[in-house]
Structure 1
């Protein structure tokens, strides 16, 4: 039975390994083993495992192991000419670090079968890199198909785009700095889920109305409704109130409601449909072929024409007519006339 290198197999109800996707790294007939790499584990450092070739083939025959596919991330599907130069330099540097050990069949088998592999630490020491860094590079190389491009930096997966950060005890960001020594500033306020519900309630009550209150006035009304006790106690004690700031309120207003919801809430339905909603379709959607529709426009040129008999004879500003084909957007006709913009002159185009 053919077991191609780098092929992906799905194990189900097998006594050889846990259920999931596995990539074949090596077929070692000298030790009658197949080295598999688990693709379902998401940790940064994952070890392969070695199984008996005969046992794996038996699982294939009993349909406990089926050939499958593994979708590569989008940053690995970019053409070579479209990869930034700094990413190529980083990829080649990472590949040079693992090139001397990733193709060592004895190391791969030991790494899959033994708990301690001194060769990994010795090689990392010789390359002057940390052993854990080397293990992570090997994991990335094996997971994404044992190809040089598998070591491209995954900068597109960095950061927390679209994820909400939660403060655990300490406020996020840099500490507040007072503008003057005489004025004490309140400590940073950490927004909780209760505060978010108060924000949402105030926005629905005051901001998303036809009265069109500003966000600043909505914030002041919210303090009166939900934080009046804290403001009153703080003033009596002579300290700044521990309440959400206007900047925090403005930030969460944009997070809790989309721009479309805000526009809809602050205008009438008739005004929204006529003036505020997004336009559907395009003017060229009904023009499938060139020559179906033509558009014409007339513009008065910002020049003055004089007579060839003498520059003292002023003829006036010309009107330029342009005709375009709606489908191809190409100019199909042009006419310059001293007559004012009208159908009478447009017929000359």
Structure 2
């Protein structure tokens, strides 16, 4: 106690000249304040930082001498932390340092203590992810929890998944320990990605509520699609279209296409946004529901960039005049005008690159290394748009249910107790925020206007489109089918190419005629879009030609290898009675069954020795042989 008192007096006497100097207000100026402390530190041969901290603590705690008491030193960098209790201070179990989670009241305190083995696991998880390709530490943290942490602490991991405890190792902890202990090679360090700093929050990306302003954009997906033939044929890279609500960050639509960017592809992006997810994606084998991904509301304003597919006359005619949606293209050199959808595209490419999915490459192929990675990814494992769609929808679903920083700042959501996730904010805002600009037409009208225009043939009451048969299902369709002739006639139809099970025939002044695909045609369309079918048309023709060629080669080879047997004059068949003919037929059938079952064929009787001595007539011998054979057949029939 005496030693502590002397230490406090010595500390106070050390900073006492500075305290007297700072009693004069002119010395509190920033330039004078630091200069006086630095001069006194040089004269006293003490560190400037130590002296500055002592002065600040003295004033912060109300000019009390106890503020100068030295603090207990913590664990040094590079040493294992909390493996054993500190002797002399507390003999209880070691406690976890740091701030507790805000969910402590609900899930309990986080009592997990990081050891040296855990730090080694964190570094190993980061290096394993970096060896696979470009990686963010957020992805490596999730990989560590799901693999290394699960193996080392299975009980704690099970409680964490069951929602009985908070996250044992936070992302902040993971970043701290990996930055401190990870010694990455130059090759691995090149794959470590960091987030760019946020330049600020601009008024150009503001909206009054959900469903008012949607941002739309397209990007080339860094994903190669190949066919499943032998050898596989490179189909190309798809174009990804995205629509996101500016206010809630809710992704309203996502569409993949193998065609060049055009308004036709934009049309399908809008169609997917405002129609049922279940009927549209279940046909592609994508497990999503309208409850998990709600149907979007038609916006009042659509904000695209100045791409050719968004600035076409068809886009203006259909969106502005037909759909009556305000189109507000961005002015030139305005990259932050739709920063929300641009950020979504960056996040989408990052998630695809870190997923380990074959056929995906992370960086734009500019240098030799990135070009080599892009060439290797051409041997992709994804064989169809449906498989790529399933992966895309998983990312979109995760985005719509993940907390967003921008929504955390919306106090209106906090007051209402709404979780700061895009889906919840979007649905709550549509129901509770009024006074928003709304579109003039109904959702059903928009769905009809967004269908693609095409031609089909109708004859004998059946519509044929893309070589598939469609039958009428409503009264208007039955009327059109009844008036059709035997000779096929071309008609104009509306069709949804992502789900072409039904085609519509527009009729002026009444409801549209609906024709539905036959069960056989619907089975052919299962899990296939018309765009994908058209993209694979060349490959389908190639596979057909290859099979036809191989079959014909086999037939020709079989014919050329055969030699015609020498012609031998066959003896005239003898005629017998009906009963004898029936007996012989029965015997022949039994012999064939015995041979097919693998049993040896038994002779009917002992072979008859034929005499060849002179004087006997051959005709008489043949007649005697025939009579003996018939007698044997009669005896066997009597035995049965």
On whether the aligned pair clears a TM of 0.5, the verdict is no
> Quick check: which one's helix share is greater?
2
Q: TM-score, normalised by structure 1?
A: 0.29
> Quick check: which one's strand share is greater?
1
Bigger Rg, which one? 2
